[in-house]
Structure 1
Amino acid sequence: MGQHPPHRARIVFYDVALEQVNAMAPAELARLDVVLRVIAALPTVGTSTKRGSARQYEMGPVRVLYVRTALGTLVLVAHVEA
């Protein structure tokens, strides 16, 4: 049997996060893309925030706040900084 590629969560942006992404320069988008790929591959990678269900993941200058669904198939991005 062949190997299946690893499952990745689908990334969805809240309106505020989408506005932040749309305002980013190409270099910032490239850094953000790397972080989003990590989160999609492993939605539990971030640390829990004080709010409970929200998670935070930082890599260098990039910070993403997100909420993952119970099954980990969907990641809702609430805030991005790059």
Structure 2
Amino acid sequence: MPPNHAPRRSRIVFHAPAARQIAKLTEAETHRLDRALVAVSLLPDIGELRRDVPLRDYRDETEGVRIIYFATALKTTVIAVYIEV
């Protein structure tokens, strides 16, 4: 019987604008963002696909976080292009 493994997570990479946004966050905001990033890394298709560009828009209303991102073809990497906390 094969061993039980945790779900495979995508690696998250931050585009330069998102990295600058993260650098300005407080510790509490970073904690809220971390929860949303875990959700996106586990389920890269969780965000709504935008019509105008090949990006996904994930909003966690509970945490007050928005992440605009795209995933690579095999969904092994998620590139965050915009962060709002």
Provide structure 2 residue ranges, at least 5 long, that are not aligned to the other structure. Answer: none
Provide structure 1 residue ranges, at least 5 long, that are not aligned to the other structure. Answer: none
If the length of structure 2 is used for normalisation, what is the TM-score?
0.92
Equivalence for 2:80:
77
Task: Note the 1:2-81 alignment, pairs <5 A.
Answer: 2-60=3-61, 61-81=64-84
1:51, 1:67 → 2: CA distance? Answer: 13
Identity %: 35
Runs of 4+ in 1 over 2 A off after TM superposition: none
RMSD value over aligned CA atoms? 0.8
If the length of structure 1 is used for normalisation, what is the TM-score?
0.95
**Count of aligned residue pairs for this structure pair:** 82
2:5, 2:38 → 1: CA distance? Answer: 18
How far apart are 1:52 and its partner, in Å? Answer: 3.4
